[in-house]
Structures are given as structure tokens and as C-alpha cells.
Amino acid sequence: MKRESIRNHIDRKIEERLPQVGFSETRQHLIEVSRKFLKRIPQDIELKEEVLEQVKHTKTKYFGLYVIWAQKRIIDLYKIEIKVIKGFSPEKKFKALKFKEKLQGS
């Protein structure tokens, strides 16, 4: 699975959950899934994209990339939750974050 497809999968799940359950439960879900995946990664593998790209075991690579991106999104959800933007729902805030990232090229 490619890095971009993992990112899109996580972002799509966030977009589905935010309107229904809000920031807190969406973050909690990401934390729980990340913990489960983290248990499946050998302890000697460092959680960095450069290191994971060299791993030959596909599932280990997938789990590692998932954990890295989920952790980033957990932090992003905290940041956008505290940001006050009048008239923006949680899902609009998240879409604005994704749009900003796209403009910055990250």
C-alpha cells in the first residue's frame, strides 16, 4: 500500500467520524487503532518514514506508516479544535487544514 493511500484512508475516516462524534472521540479512535498497530511492529524498527521504506515486510511497513500518519492527525485535530473560526464545523475545519497542506505541498 502506498503512503498516499494510507494518508487518504485515515483522512477519509476522520471526515466520516467528525460530524458524527466530534473531535474527542475521533482522536480516541485514532489512538486506539494506532496502539493496536504499534503492537504489531517489531521493537527494533524505528518509526520514521525513511526507515519504514526499507522494510521488506509489507504489513510492518503499512502498520508503521499508519501509526506515523495517525499520530500526526491526532496532533492536527487538537490544533484545529482549539482554533476559533466562526461558522466552521469540525469537518470544515479539517477540510481547511487539508486544503492548506495541499497548497503548501506537504
Provide the domain count of the chain.
1
Range of the domain at 99: 3-104
Q: What is the pLDDT of residues 7-60, one digit of tens each?
A: 999 999 999 999 999 999 999 999 999 999 999 998 888 888 888 888 888 888
Nearest by Cα to 78 from 92, 66, 93, 57? 93
pLDDT at 55: 84
**Cα–Cα distance for residue pair 25/23, rounded to 1 Å:** 6
Enter the C-alpha cell of residue 23: 473531535
* pLDDT recorded at residue 5: 92
pLDDT in tens, 59-87: 889 999 999 999 999 999 999 998 877 77
Q: What is the predicted pLDDT for the residue at 1?
A: 62
Cα 2 to Cα 35, 59, 61, 62, distances in angstroms = 21, 12, 10, 8
